[in-house]
A and B are shown apart, each in its own frame.
Chain A
Amino acid sequence: MKPIKVSLMSGSPKPLSSASGALLDSLKPRLSDHFHVSFHYLNKTSVPEESMESFINSDILVLSFPLYVDGIPSHLLNCLYEMEINLKRHPRPDMTIYAIVNCGFFEGHQALPAIEMVKNWCHKADVTWGQGLGVGGGGMIQSLSGVPDGQGPKKNFSHALDALAFHINTGSEGEDIYISPNFPRIGYKIGAEMGWRHQSKMNGLNKKDLDRRLV
């Protein structure tokens, strides 16, 4: 039997240490052993040749990216347009697309317009929509690497990835899922703001500099 080819594509502009990549890393062990899985980085404004070749030959694409200004980051948008053009030359209506969108806000449902854009892209590119997952609290995803799966603040992430993996493994369409961390919103806010102060201090700024106005 021909192996099912799965492309996991991170659309973060950061090739390393991104929440988008970490979510794909967490998804990968949940995927069927029968899949032939490849990992790609779409961190530039054009799709690398080998990634495009892998994509066009894939049965399943899982696209993971950060929410930028309520939508798809511009470099990734350009990549999707290139992929649409390629699909017009090499139609793949049997290819199924799943999308994971992480946002810095607490509420995963703020990723809804971006997930709809991927669905609209599927329509234009004539590929099959599978399922979307909007993940809130993107700023804490990487800090949870030591937390056991399904436990504490990771609980909602783990359950959502289990549900997404089920649909990917069965090649089925699922309802979109929007999650927030299993963690108090106020705690997330305090932690994020401490992080901004720490980073600005590392850059030689003081707390008040964060409020700088240029007008």
Chain B
Amino acid sequence: MKLIIHDLDELKFKRLFPDLPNSFRVVSNDGTIKKCVGCFGCWVKTPGACVIRDNYGDMGEWLAKSDEVIIISKCFYGGYSPFVKNVLDRSISYIHPYFATRNNEMHHKKRYNHTFETSVWFYGDDITEDEKATANKLVVANSINMISNIKGIHFVDSVEEIGGGIL
């Protein structure tokens, strides 16, 4: 499965990507997402699933089923938009609460014997060079913590430039 997490409005997304195969699962902003409250219930109460049962409570499971995760996000200060970041904040059930050492740093242990590839498309017509540098560091840090491989980090002025790049 390929998982797309994006912050575009539904009509725009469908116009840009009209013929996605059934192998894609799309995580969009339906206006109902709750913020992560930092309770760690997804580790110590309902391990593997978020305790908040809105439409975004199974992100950990969806990541475990994905071969590739494609993120399309407006660039905010060298990071993701609030919606995309909210989805990622709600995704930590994918990893295990215990710690492991990688790159001589403390990170979380794997929950699943699985990795996925990550492609990130940051869009915005005013992304600065500093923001691009930060965004690159962020995606690298995410790939270490979420145990994924980076397939690509892209910066585009407008989402129209993505075209078939995600397929």
Residues of chain B lying within 8 A (CB to CB) of residue A213: 48, 64, 111-112
A139 to chain B, nearest CB (A): 10
Inter-subunit contact B142/A120 (CB<8 Å): no
Inter-subunit contact B37/A14 (CB<8 Å): yes
Q: Most chain-A CB neighbours within 10 Å: which of B79, B80, B128?
A: B79
Annotate B75-99 by CB proximity to A: 1 below 8 A, 0 otherwise: 0111111110110110110001111
Which residue of B36, B44, B99, B111 contacts A13 across the interface (Cβ within 8 Å)?
A: B36
Which residue of B35, B114, B131 contacts A45 across the interface (Cβ within 8 Å)?
A: B35
Inter-subunit contact B76/A81 (CB<8 Å): yes
Inter-subunit contact B91/A69 (CB<8 Å): yes
Residues of chain B lying within 8 A (CB to CB) of residue A70: 138, 141-142, 145
Residues of chain B lying within 8 A (CB to CB) of residue A81: 76, 82
- From A27-35, A52-60, A148-156, A185-193, give the one contacting chain B: A185-193
User: Which secondary structure characterizes the binding site on chain B?
Assistant: mixed
Residues of chain B lying within 8 A (CB to CB) of residue A12: 38
A12-B38, A13-B37, A105-B106 given; A196·B44 CB < 8 A: yes
Interface flag for A134 (CB, 8 Å): no
Number of A-B contacts (CB under 8 A): 154
Inter-subunit contact B97/A196 (CB<8 Å): yes
A181 to chain B, nearest CB (A): 11
User: Which secondary structure characterizes the binding site on chain A?
Assistant: helix
Inter-subunit contact B47/A212 (CB<8 Å): yes
Interface flag for A159 (CB, 8 Å): no
Residues of chain A lying within 8 A (CB to CB) of residue B91: 69
**What's the tally of chain A residues with a CB closer than 8 Å to chain B?**
50
Annotate B18-61 by CB proximity to A: 1 below 8 A, 0 otherwise: 00000000000000000111101001110111000000001011
B89 to chain A, nearest CB (A): 5
Which residue of A113, A189, A196, A200 contacts B79 across the interface (Cβ within 8 Å)?
A: A113
Residues of chain B lying within 8 A (CB to CB) of residue A18: 38
Residues of chain B lying within 8 A (CB to CB) of residue A117: 76-79, 134, 138
- Per the bound structure, the CA–CA distance linking A71 and B71 in Å amounts to 15
Q: Most chain-B CB neighbours within 10 Å: which of A75, A188, A193, A214?
A: A214
Annotate B99-143 by CB proximity to A: 1 below 8 A, 0 otherwise: 100000111000110100000000000001011011001100110
Residues of chain A lying within 8 A (CB to CB) of residue B38: 12-14, 18, 66, 68, 73
Interface flag for A107 (CB, 8 Å): yes
- Per the bound structure, the CA–CA distance linking A77 and B78 in Å amounts to 12
Closest chain A residue, CB of each to CB of B45: A203
Given contacts A71-B80, A73-B36, A120-B128, could you give 16 more A-B pairs where the C-beta distance is less than 8 Å?
A: A18-B38, A69-B142, A69-B146, A70-B138, A74-B35, A75-B82, A81-B76, A105-B99, A107-B105, A113-B79, A117-B138, A189-B99, A199-B40, A199-B44, A200-B44, A210-B43
Which A residues fall within an 8 A CB radius of B? 12-14, 18, 44-45, 66, 68-75, 77-78, 80-81, 105-107, 110, 112-113, 116-121, 123-124, 185, 188-189, 192-193, 196, 199-200, 203, 205, 209-215
4 tightest A-B contacts by CB? A74-B86, A70-B141, A212-B47, A120-B77
Which B residues fall within an 8 A CB radius of A? 35-38, 40, 43-45, 47-49, 58, 60-61, 64-65, 76-83, 85-86, 88-89, 91-92, 96-99, 105-107, 111-112, 114, 128, 130-131, 133-134, 137-138, 141-142, 145-146
